[in-house]
């Protein structure tokens, strides 16, 4: 019978099948060298999550800053002890190539800037950890991958859930066949978005909730199943045509997918209501359910047929919502230091964007 497992036991079990990144498999002595990061864009995800996560990790440190807001740079440079010579504006960013004290950049910019700064960073010889969604469209994704390959730098898309214990355990159970055959998958993620934010403008975001929050459910289904959808059908809608948030983007998206194995899925995402994120995988031998895609409190429920089993693997966090960013930063840093392959690579981001393009096409969106 399955019992409550802590994170250390999950790490041990996952390591046995070789799916958990080294940074999670073992905590070893502090390294003699760390990867030196310059966050590009000093918004909430950089300042409240990635930067503290890197500082709490073992393998990375913040040695540079890139922003168009001098007040943010001044404050954060003092906090992280970043010298003036390692602080850049968007206009001076390209000169980062001359700075040997910066190895990599973290791109926490609006979606429409991901491709530009990934390519410019690669041309400057810096490794790139870029937030999801990877870019605005397939052409940009392909350009980002090509630029990083040409410059021989690493490109990782920040799918932090790929490194999270509940997602890893769900993938292990499903891909091992321990739960039988996958028959159907349900997924959802959404929230009631504020007025006047950049994510409600298509020119910055590329789309609505699908690009921002629905991508979690889409990516999780692909991740745990290990297959790419072969057929997609979708609908989108705006409930209140007078709502200023949805003059440029969709409010809701619902889509279904069929996978080569025969498994089918049904998923929804919204910017018009709070919708708790989850992925529920119905297997011939039971149900595997991931609850949440947030920065903390993600849990895994497993029910084996006829046994009513419940397993809770809620991941610990430090109350600040940065624990997953510690793992993410350390994982990418170790890949840079050891020159090892990245699992949530640029190609992974491209596959999500390929599916998103098909969803929008089926829902009737042009361009």
pLDDT for 315-367, tens place per residue?
A: 555 556 789 999 999 999 999 999 999 999 999 999 999 999 999 999 998 65
Pairwise CA distance, residues 301 & 277, whole Å: 14
Look at residue 320 in the predicted model and tell me its pLDDT: 62
Average pLDDT, the chain: 90
pLDDT tens digit string along 117-133? 999 999 999 999 999 99
Look at residue 365 in the predicted model and tell me its pLDDT: 81
Given 132, 154, 304, 351, the catalytic residue: 132
216 a catalytic residue: yes
Look at residue 5 in the predicted model and tell me its pLDDT: 44
Mean pLDDT of 18-46: 73
Question: Domain-by-domain residue ranges, the chain?
Answer: 31-160, 165-314
Given 80, 216, 295, 323, the catalytic residue: 216
pTM of the model: 0.89
Reported as a pLDDT band with limits 50, 70 and 90, residue 11 is very low
Quick one: residue 180, left, alpha or beta (phi over 0 = left, psi -120 to 50 = alpha)?
A: left
Beta strands in the chain (DSSP E): 35-40, 60-62, 65-66, 87-88, 104-107, 127-130, 155-157, 182-190, 231-237, 252-258, 264-270, 275-283, 286-291, 299-304
Which CATH number is correct for 31-160, 3.40.50.720, 3.40.720.10, 3.40.1360.10, 3.40.50.2000?
A: 3.40.50.720
Fold of 165-314: Dihydrodipicolinate Reductase; domain 2 (3.30.360)
pLDDT tens digit string along 134-190? 999 999 999 999 999 999 999 999 999 999 999 999 999 999 999 999 999 999 999
């Amino acid at each position: 019978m399955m019992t409550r497992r802590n994170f250390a036991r999950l790490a041990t079990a996952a390591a046995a099948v070789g799916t958990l990144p080294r940074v999670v498999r073992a905590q070893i002595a502090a390294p003699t060298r760390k990867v030196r990061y310059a966050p590009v864009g000093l918004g909430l995800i950089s300042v409240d999550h990635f930067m503290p996560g890197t500082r709490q990790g073992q393998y990375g440190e913040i040695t540079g800053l890139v922003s168009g807001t001098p007040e943010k740079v001044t404050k954060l440079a003092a906090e992280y002890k970043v010298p003036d010579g390692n602080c850049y504006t968007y206009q001076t960013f390209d000169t980062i190539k001359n700075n040997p004290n910066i190895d990599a950049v973290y791109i926490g910019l609006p979606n429409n800037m991901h491709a530009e700064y990934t390519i410019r960073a690669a041309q400057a010889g810096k490794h790139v950890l870029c937030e999801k969604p990877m870019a605005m469209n397939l052409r940009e994704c392909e350009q980002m991958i090509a630029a990083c390959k040409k410059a021989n730098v690493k490109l990782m898309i920040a799918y932090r859930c790929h490194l999270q214990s509940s997602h890893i355990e769900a993938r292990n159970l499903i891909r091992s066949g321990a739960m039988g055959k996958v028959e159907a998958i349900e997924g959802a993620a959404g929230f009631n978005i504020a007025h006047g934010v950049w994510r409600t403008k298509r020119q910055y975001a590329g789309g609505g909730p699908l690009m921002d929050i629905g991508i979690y459910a889409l990516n999780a289904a692909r991740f745990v199943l290990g297959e790419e959808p072969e057929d997609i059908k979708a609908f989108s809608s705006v409930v209140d045509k007078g709502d200023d948030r949805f003059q440029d983007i969709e409010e809701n998206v619902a889509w279904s997918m069929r996978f080569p194995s025969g498994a089918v899925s049904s998923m929804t995402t919204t910017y018009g209501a709070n919708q708790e994120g989850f992925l529920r995988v119905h297997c011939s031998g039971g149900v595997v359910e991931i609850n949440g895609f947030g920065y903390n409190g993600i849990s895994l429920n497993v029910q084996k047929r006829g046994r009513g089993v419940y397993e809770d693997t809620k991941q610990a966090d430090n109350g600040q919502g940065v624990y997953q960013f510690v793992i993410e930063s350390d994982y990418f840093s170790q890949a840079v230091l050891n020159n090892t392959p990245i699992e949530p690579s640029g190609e992974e981001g491209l596959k999500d964007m390929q599916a998103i393009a098909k969803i929008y096409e089926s829902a009737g969106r042009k361009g």
